[in-house]
Amino acid sequence: MPAFASSGDLEEKQQTLEIVGDGVYALTAEGDPNVGAIEADDFLVCFEAMATPTAARQWLARLREHTDKPIRYLVLSHYHAVRVLGASAFGADVIVSHANTRALIEERGQQDWESEYGRMPRLFKDPGSIPGLTLPTLTFTDRLAIDLGGGRFLELHHLGRGHTEGDIVAWLPDERILFAGDLVEARAALYTGDAFHREWSTTTLDRVAALGARTLIGGRGPVTREVGAAIRQTRDFLEVMLREVGAAHGRGGTLKEAFDAAHAALAPRYGGWPIFEHCLPFNVSRLWDELDGVERPIIWTAERDRAVWDLLQS
Ligand SMILES: [Zn+2]
C-alpha cells in the first residue's frame, strides 16, 4: 500500500513569487497550495492564509520585499485547514469569507485540522504556532467589492457550490486576473472530498469561465494564462469521476469498484500530477455519498481518513 495520503511527500517544494499585474502577487509552489496579495492605494488584501502562522510569516517576508502597506483584509477562499490556519500571522483588520465558510470552520474546523495535518504534515510548518481556529470577521453570501482606491475594485464572488459549499473567488475586472481558490487547478489533481461534483462541473465552472479571466491563479499549480485549458481540465476531471463512479454506483457495484474504475480512467492523464493518489480515495468516497443522496459532505476525521484509505488504496 502506498504511504497514507501525502504523508510520504516530505520534500521541500520550490516557491515562486510572481508579479502578475501592477501590485498583484502570486506565490505558487509546485503543486502546494497557492497564495496571493493585491495592493490597494494604501493597504493590502491577502488571499489565503497557509497552514500555519510560521508558514504564513515566510510568505509575508517575501511579500515585504515588495510592499510595506498594512494588511487590511485577509480573504479566505474556503474553510480547509491548509488554507486558513495561518490566519493569525497576517494581523489583518478584517478576515473575509463566505458565510458558509465561517459556519464550516465552526462546525468542523477542528476535525479538518486533524485530518489535514495527518494527510499533509509537510505543509504544517511549526504546527505549534497555530493558536487555534481563527474565525472570519466579515462574511457574505453572494458578492462583496473591496474599494482599492483610484477607481479600482477587487470583487469577491460566490459562484455556486463546488470544491466546498462556501467557495469564493477574487476577481480584478480591470486586469482580468482571477484568484480561483480550489475551484480551478492548473496541472494539479483535484481534491473533491468535500465537493458538490454535479454543481461544480456545470453551473459553477460555467460562471467561473464567464468572468473571462486572462490570468488565473488556481488553488494549486502554476499561474496560467491558458485559462480556458485550466477550466476544461478541472471540468474533465470531474466529469470522468462522475461517469466512472456513476456507472459503478448505478449498476449496484461497490465503492472499491468505483475507485478502481475512476483511477483507471483518470490516471493516464492526471496520474502524474501533484496529490493525485492522495486525493482519489477521498474524492470517490464523497462522490459515492453524493450519488447516494447525502447532501452535505460527511465530516472527515483522522480515523475516517485511514479507514477510507485502507479500503481503497490497498
Ligand atoms: Zn481545499
> What's the pLDDT tens digit per position in 103-115?
999 999 999 999 9
Phi, psi of 181 (to 5 degrees): 55, -155
Taking the centre of ligand 1 as the mean of its atom positions, its distance from the CA of residue 37, in whole angstroms, is 18
Taking the centre of ligand 1 as the mean of its atom positions, its distance from the CA of residue 41, in whole angstroms, is 30
Taking the centre of ligand 1 as the mean of its atom positions, its distance from the CA of residue 297, in whole angstroms, is 13
Taking the centre of ligand 1 as the mean of its atom positions, its distance from the CA of residue 234, in whole angstroms, is 14
Taking the centre of ligand 1 as the mean of its atom positions, its distance from the CA of residue 181, in whole angstroms, is 8
Confidence of residue 314 (pLDDT cuts 50, 70, 90): confident
Q: What digits encode the pLDDT tens for the residues 162-171?
A: 999 999 999 9
**Lookup: cell for 265:** 480512467
Q: What digits encode the pLDDT tens for the residues 150-209?
A: 999 999 999 999 999 999 999 999 999 999 999 999 999 999 999 999 999 999 999 999
Taking the centre of ligand 1 as the mean of its atom positions, its distance from the CA of residue 66, in whole angstroms, is 28
Q: What is the pLDDT of residue 235?
A: 98
Taking the centre of ligand 1 as the mean of its atom positions, its distance from the CA of residue 249, in whole angstroms, is 25
Taking the centre of ligand 1 as the mean of its atom positions, its distance from the CA of residue 188, in whole angstroms, is 12
Burial class of residue 141 (count of CB atoms within 10 Å of its CB; 0-12, 13-18, 19+): exposed
Confidence of residue 9 (pLDDT cuts 50, 70, 90): confident
Cα end-to-end span (Å), the chain: 5
Taking the centre of ligand 1 as the mean of its atom positions, its distance from the CA of residue 64, in whole angstroms, is 26
CA distance linking residue 242 with residue 262, whole number of Å: 9
The secondary element (H helix, E strand) that includes residue 55 is helix 53-63
Q: What is the pLDDT of residue 255?
A: 98
Taking the centre of ligand 1 as the mean of its atom positions, its distance from the CA of residue 79, in whole angstroms, is 7
Taking the centre of ligand 1 as the mean of its atom positions, its distance from the CA of residue 150, in whole angstroms, is 33
- Radius of gyration from C-alpha coordinates of the chain: 18
Buried b (16+ CB within 10 A) or exposed e, 213-235: bebbbbbbbbbbeebeebbebbb
Taking the centre of ligand 1 as the mean of its atom positions, its distance from the CA of residue 193, in whole angstroms, is 9
Taking the centre of ligand 1 as the mean of its atom positions, its distance from the CA of residue 42, in whole angstroms, is 30
Taking the centre of ligand 1 as the mean of its atom positions, its distance from the CA of residue 141, in whole angstroms, is 18
pTM higher than 0.85 for the full model?
yes
Taking the centre of ligand 1 as the mean of its atom positions, its distance from the CA of residue 305, in whole angstroms, is 15
Task: Give CA angle at 260 (182, 163), nearest 5°.
Answer: 15
Taking the centre of ligand 1 as the mean of its atom positions, its distance from the CA of residue 231, in whole angstroms, is 16
**Residue 97: which residues within 8 A CB-CB, separation 6 or more?**
75, 76, 77, 78, 79, 136, 138, 139, 166, 168
Taking the centre of ligand 1 as the mean of its atom positions, its distance from the CA of residue 182, in whole angstroms, is 5
Within 10 angstroms of residue 174's Cβ, the number of other Cβ atoms is 11
Q: What is the pLDDT of residue 299?
A: 98
Taking the centre of ligand 1 as the mean of its atom positions, its distance from the CA of residue 218, in whole angstroms, is 11
Strands 215-218 and 177-181, how do they pair? Answer: parallel
The per-residue pLDDT of the chain, averaged, comes to: 96
CA distance linking residue 50 with residue 22, whole number of Å: 23
CA distance linking residue 175 with residue 41, whole number of Å: 16
User: Percent of the chain scored above 70 by pLDDT?
Assistant: 100
Q: What is the pLDDT of residue 140?
A: 98
SS3 (DSSP) at 26: strand
Cα distances from 104 to residues 90, 101, 167, 298, in angstroms, run 21, 5, 11, 12
Burial class of residue 14 (count of CB atoms within 10 Å of its CB; 0-12, 13-18, 19+): exposed
Return the closest-CA partner of residue 183 out of 231, 137, 240: 231
Q: 200: which DSSP letter?
A: I
**Lookup: cell for 16:** 515562486
Within 10 angstroms of residue 108's Cβ, the number of other Cβ atoms is 19
Strands 94-98 and 71-75, how do they pair? Answer: parallel
* Segment 7-11 mean pLDDT: 83
Taking the centre of ligand 1 as the mean of its atom positions, its distance from the CA of residue 252, in whole angstroms, is 30
Burial class of residue 237 (count of CB atoms within 10 Å of its CB; 0-12, 13-18, 19+): buried
Q: What is the pLDDT of residue 1?
A: 67
Taking the centre of ligand 1 as the mean of its atom positions, its distance from the CA of residue 88, in whole angstroms, is 19
Taking the centre of ligand 1 as the mean of its atom positions, its distance from the CA of residue 112, in whole angstroms, is 11
SS3 (DSSP) at 139: strand
